[in-house]
Amino acid sequence: MSQDESESHSASESVEIALSSIPDDPKLDQAPGKYLAVFEIDGDAIIGKSVRDPKAGELGVQCWNRVVALIPKQYREGIVQFNIEAGRRWAGRFGGDGKNDVGRKGYKFSIAKYAADEEKNLSDAIRPVTARRGTLDWTIVHEMGHYICLKTDTIERFSRQFDAKPNMPVRREAPDDYPEDGSPVTDGGFVTSYAERTPGDEEVVETFTTFMTVDELPTNDSWAGRKIRFIGTVEGMAELREHVQAVGD
């Protein structure tokens, strides 16, 4: 992915969208009932909506404003649908099969209503990024990470680099020695408890999210440190990190 200054906003700027300015789109009414608000996306813009829960609609617009601030358009050009979802099983979800409810080729992702509602600074789209699991920022970067890692073949590259390596730490099913505040680890075997107990795509995306959000990249020789730095070797990742880190400056 190349950087194109003409198609990205400054990290200190965002194009904020108001719910009232988005036209209702009847075709989106056919989306699954678990979606409390459904938005059709075109670049930075929301071009249509179906809102079943007014509060979810407002939260959805504020969440999308945050996505626009954090992730430049060229890194999410395949996203055509964004939802606010009911339930508490997941904080976010990425539709990786290309199926959507807007009738265009592309992907969708969702944020749970509770996760958006618990964000204290949701209205400030250009606040500094928060590097902790359980926060809205972590969820946004993680879910977008599924798409970005998919498009850049990062998951396969990561697997070739680290899977079945000698002396690789043994995975535990229920690790409980990670920071209680959700901060990732940069000097162990895995960056988060979730990354340790969930191999494959999820570990790669957790490592991606750590690379993007932590203030300082590790220089140590631990497995976690090596994995984090590996993300930066993939084309476009270092530039994206620079953007994310500059948000709120």
Distance between CA 76 and CA 144 in Å, rounded? 7
Q: Per the domain annotation, does 209 fall within a domain? A: no
Q: Per the domain annotation, does 165 fall within a domain? A: no
Pairing between strand 35-42 and 92-95? unpaired
Residues 134-169 have pLDDT tens digits of: 999 999 999 999 999 999 999 999 999 998 788 888
Token couple for 12: 């200190």
Pairing between strand 92-95 and 107-112? antiparallel
Residues 48-97 have pLDDT tens digits of: 999 999 999 999 999 999 999 999 999 999 999 999 999 999 999 999 99
pTM for the whole structure: 0.92
Residues 1-23 have pLDDT tens digits of: 444 443 444 544 555 678 999 99
Q: Per the domain annotation, does 229 fall within a domain? A: no
Averaged pLDDT for residues 203-214:
98
Residues 119 and 92 sit within 8 Å (Cβ to Cβ): no
Q: Per the domain annotation, does 160 fall within a domain? A: no
Name the strand (E) or helix (H) holding 204.
helix 201-213
Q: Per the domain annotation, does 122 fall within a domain? A: yes
Q: Per the domain annotation, does 63 fall within a domain? A: yes
Residues 29-52 have pLDDT tens digits of: 999 999 999 999 999 999 999 999
Check whether 101 has a pLDDT greater than 70.
yes
Cα 176–chain centre separation: 24
Q: Per the domain annotation, does 104 fall within a domain? A: yes
103 is in which domain, residue-wise? Answer: 5-126
Burial status of residue 232 (CB atoms within 10 A of its CB: 0-12, 13-18, 19 or more): middle
Mean pLDDT of the chain: 93
Closest CA to 226 of 179, 139, 148, 165: 165
Bridge partner residues of 81 (DSSP):
40, 108
Please tell me whether residue 48 adopts helix, strand or coil conformation: strand
Number of independent structural domains in the chain: 1
Q: Indicate the angle between helix axes 201-213 and 237-246, nearest 10 degrees.
A: 50
Q: Per the domain annotation, does 41 fall within a domain? A: yes
pLDDT score of 18: 86
